[in-house]
Amino acid sequence: MQRYTTLEAVIFDWAGTVVDFGSFAPTQVLIEVFTQVGVPVSLAEARVPMGLAKWDHIQALGRLPAVAERWQARFGRAMTDADVDALYQQFMPLQVAKVAAYSAPIPGAVDTVNLLRARGLKIGSCSGYPRVVMDQLLPLAAAAGYAPDHCVATDDLAAGGRPGPWMALDNVLALRVGDVRHCVKVDDTTPGIAEGLRAGMWTVGLSASGNAVGLTAAEWAALDPAEQAKRRAPAVAQLRQAGAHYVLDTLVELPAVLDEIERRVQAGERP
């Protein structure tokens, strides 16, 4: 098997990228928390800020015009940071309790990661989940065959999370990567793509397995090609608009793209 001689590392997101096809774990809990306080939100609304740290996600969700209007009608005022704090406190134990239900690897993801390791790549990871959730998810993923070389949670770093570059760059430091241009960031959300770009990396977006399409693996597989194309198109457009160098359905397609990036880097191209 030919090993990569230039590329050094791939840094993966978690939900919607390696585990949790359709990225359901965060959205389902957010819907439940907002419902508990009498402000219902739809699944589509809960998905809009996906990729941000969860406190930021709750705040951004509350600022969506339709949600803000419902909040105003329910409480007679706009959502405050104190409200976000309270919702976050409700969110956290529910997310910890329910992350296991959505921890299954995306089909083909573990085999793909193993192939990349065999070709000499280091495997990094980062997430919009806080550390307390990642501590629940990591052993479940390891038992299913996925154990990255490094993992950064959104509250691990004082600088913060996405769309800033800091979690991706923490992987660079921990993995002792010699050049950020030799890294590839893989994510299903626009803040995750922004993270990779700001860190100076190549970026690959995932459409079918991710937040924007928002279907389970079985639901996606049951669609005919025409319906898949219809569902895929907005997700691809969103990720490309965010600046993704490549957009794929799932990780199964990643090795071929890494081969192309390897050739481009060797030819002197930059992300």
Condensed to tens digits (0 to 9), the pLDDT of residues 106-136 reads 999 999 999 999 999 999 999 999 999 999 9
Give the pLDDT confidence score for residue 114 in this predicted structure.
98
CA distances from 110 to 67, 113, 252, 254 (A): 38, 5, 9, 12
Fill in the amino acid letter for 206.
L
- Judge whether residue 202 has pLDDT over 90: yes
When the pLDDT of each residue in the chain is averaged and rounded to a whole number, the result is 95
Residues involved in catalysis = 13, 54
User: What fold, for 25-101?
Assistant: DNA polymerase; domain 1 (1.10.150)
Q: What is the mean pLDDT of residues 231-237?
A: 97
Count Cβ atoms below 10 Å from residue 233 Cβ, excluding itself: 12
SS (H, E, C) 177-223: CCCHHHEEEEECCHHHHHHHHHCCCEEEEECCCCCCCCCCHHHHHHC
- Judge whether residue 241 has pLDDT over 90: yes
Give residue 1's pLDDT band: very low, low, confident or very high (50, 70, 90): confident
Give the pLDDT confidence score for residue 117 in this predicted structure.
97
Show me where the domains of the chain are located: 9-23+102-266, 25-101
At 156-183, the pLDDT tens digits run 999 999 999 999 999 999 999 999 999 9
**Percent of the chain whose predicted confidence (pLDDT) is above 90:** 89
Give residue 137's pLDDT band: very low, low, confident or very high (50, 70, 90): very high
Q: What is the mean pLDDT of residues 11-38?
A: 93
Contact (Cβ atoms closer than 8 angstroms) between residue 28 and residue 98: yes
Beta bridge partners of 11: 124, 185
Give the pLDDT confidence score for residue 53 in this predicted structure.
84
SS (H, E, C) 220-264: HHHCCHHHHHHHHHHHHHHHHHCCCCEEECCHHHHHHHHHHHHHH
Give the pLDDT confidence score for residue 210 in this predicted structure.
95
pTM as predicted: 0.91
Superfamily of domain 9-23+102-266: HAD superfamily/HAD-like (3.40.50.1000)
